[in-house]
Amino acid sequence: MTVQEKTIANPALPSFLTRGDLKHFIGGKWVSAQGGEWIETFNPATGAVLAKLARGRQADIDAAVAVARETFEGSWQHITPHQRHALLMKVHDVIEANWEELALLETLDMGAPLMRTRSLKAYVLQVISFFATQTSRCVGQTIPNSLPGNFTTMTLKAPVGVIGGIIPWNGPLPSQWWTVAATIASGCTAVIKPAEDASLTVLRVAELLLEADIPPGVINVVTGMGAEAGSALAEHRDVDRISFTGSTQTGRAIIRASAGNMKRLQLELGGKSPDIVFADADLDKAVPGAGMAVFNNSGQVCYAGTRLFVQRSIQEEFVARLAEFAKGLKVGDPLDNSVQLGPLISDKQLQQVLGYVASGQEEGAKLVSGGQRIQGDLSNGYYIEPTIFSGVSNAMTIGREEIFGPVVSVIPFDTPEEALKLANDTDYGLAGAIWTTNVKTMNQMMHGIRSGTVWVNCYGLVDPAVGFGGYKHSGYGWKGGEQHIEGFLYQKSICINYD
């Protein structure tokens, strides 16, 4: 691992951050918190206060939901599929034109290297374009019936209403579109509650949507704490659907909160994904692939391949090569375009990850490399070295619990059957991967791994037209593909009597 010796001079702040304290965005206007309270958000690279956000509570959620409901039941319901498609293509162009500002905001807010946030442009535009193609998905069927008399039977589909979107802090710039674009495509309206640690790009996107002629009130944003604004949104009886990405613990709370009005739910929750490397794999691809499956975004990825199963005959070589790869990663100021890994999102997250590192050592795992908070010029930020443990078992805490940091646990196996047994020995089922050149092994593993996504000789690739989803404690509901829009619609049957 290489560490940037000196921090670089920060570029001029985006004008969005020079306006002063940031309010809620409701009905196309900036609105102060009804309680007049604020929360601070920090730059994780420096620990300095970046902005003050309105602290939303129940009253603010009530106001935003009321606007979203009024908009849904007003003129927005008469916008045709063709018009929604045209609007989403305008959104595509506006986001493309403002991408540099959005990438910088994201980097300042949650610490992802500017190299990474800039590179997300093509993917985000692809997601928006995909949802533009889904505006005509509100389709039903005319079905032959066996009723006596002169009848026609059919089904229709219609938007469910007001969506509550709770956006995670580990990548709000790309992740918000699963709710925002789908809301527009389906004809719903939404109230978005971004994570208190990273709200800036969600607020700025909501404002930019007006430039794309999205009517005020279609997308509304209330900032605040999860236990306050987030809970109020999840419990609100006039919200018809919740789209949530976050921890399994919070997901369970949202499931309980949804019972009040039987909300529909889409939950992308935690993961402890297996990444399995066989002895016949192309190690020149498998080593960096497995490394970035964990270290990408400093390990703050829900489907990170943190349980790395390596066939015993190549384990020593693989771990040595993985350690060498990790040492070559540049960690430092995320505003430096050559930096590959930035800080963790907060001091709280840093302490949690360091606690897992200590736990691994206490339980007998071998610390191969990393594991330390980075000091020197980066000491004010929330930086940790990319970390590799070997000699790990599924019974250890680091082999069982989601760490959400750049920490990989290497676990040996001998046979494909043993690899499958170990891979599936987890409460989670979000993703998994295999590295092999043997077609029979590929087939056995891709059918045997119990998870929503399986990658073969690659990791982390997501096509919005295909989508992804969780299994077991990793949640339910599908992001992307035709099924995604189906979750924003409800079906009704129609029976017409002509006599």
Residue type at position 143: I
pTM comes to: 0.95
Q: Which residue reads 């919200």 in tokens? A: 239
60 close to 156: Cβ distance less than 8 angstroms: no
Q: Residue 469: inside a domain, yes or no?
A: no
Amino acid 138: pLDDT = 82
Tokens for 406?
């750049």
How far apart are the C-alpha atoms of 456 and 478, rounded to whole Å?
Answer: 20
Whether residues 308 and 191 fall in one domain = no
Q: Residue 176: inside a domain, yes or no?
A: yes
**Residues listed for the chain:** 499
* CATH code for the domain of 106: 3.40.605.10
The single residue of 196, 228, 235, 268 carrying the catalytic annotation is: 268
Number of structural domains the chain divides into: 2
Whether residues 76 and 99 fall in one domain = yes
Whether residues 439 and 401 fall in one domain = yes
Tokens for 46?
């420096």
Q: Residue 255: inside a domain, yes or no?
A: yes
- Over the chain (499 residues), the average pLDDT of each successive run of 10 is 60 83 97 96 95 97 98 96 98 98 97 97 98 91 90 95 97 97 98 98 98 98 97 97 95 92 94 98 98 98 97 98 97 96 97 98 97 96 98 96 98 98 97 98 97 97 94 94 94 93
Whether residues 170 and 73 fall in one domain = yes
* Sign (positive or negative) of CA dihedral 378, 382, 388, 389: positive
How far apart are the C-alpha atoms of 488 and 157, rounded to whole Å?
Answer: 10
Whether residues 236 and 335 fall in one domain = no
Q: Residue 470: inside a domain, yes or no?
A: no
Whether residues 406 and 426 fall in one domain = yes
The single residue of 196, 235, 302, 402 carrying the catalytic annotation is: 302
Q: Which residue reads 């008399």 in tokens? A: 149
Contacts 24+ apart (CB under 8 A), 452-458: 453/303, 455/431, 457/281, 457/282, 457/285, 457/286, 457/289, 458/289, 458/433
How far apart are the C-alpha atoms of 212 and 106, rounded to whole Å?
Answer: 21
* 12 alpha carbon, distance to own chain's centre: 28
Q: Which of 394, 387, 322, 315 is nearest to 356 (CA)?
A: 387
Q: Residue 351: inside a domain, yes or no?
A: yes
Whether residues 191 and 328 fall in one domain = no
Amino acid 11: pLDDT = 65
How far apart are the C-alpha atoms of 241 and 189, rounded to whole Å?
Answer: 10
Q: Which domain holds residue 118?
A: 2-269+475-493
How far apart are the C-alpha atoms of 158 and 65, rounded to whole Å?
Answer: 19
Whether residues 145 and 226 fall in one domain = yes
Q: Is 117 exposed, middle or buried (0-12, 13-18, 19+ CB in 10 A)?
A: buried
Amino acid 1: pLDDT = 73
Whether residues 291 and 255 fall in one domain = no
How far apart are the C-alpha atoms of 55 and 454, rounded to whole Å?
Answer: 40
Q: Quick check: is 268 catalytic?
A: yes
Q: Residue 147: inside a domain, yes or no?
A: yes
Q: Residue 359: inside a domain, yes or no?
A: yes
Amino acid 137: pLDDT = 83
How far apart are the C-alpha atoms of 172 and 93, rounded to whole Å?
Answer: 19
Whether residues 348 and 260 fall in one domain = no
How far apart are the C-alpha atoms of 299 and 292, rounded to whole Å?
Answer: 9
* CATH code for the domain of 294: 3.40.309.10
Whether residues 237 and 332 fall in one domain = no
Cα–Cα separations (whole angstroms), residue 234 to 26, 154, 238, 252:
18, 33, 10, 11
Q: Quick check: is 458 catalytic?
A: no
Whether residues 152 and 301 fall in one domain = no
Q: Residue 468: inside a domain, yes or no?
A: no
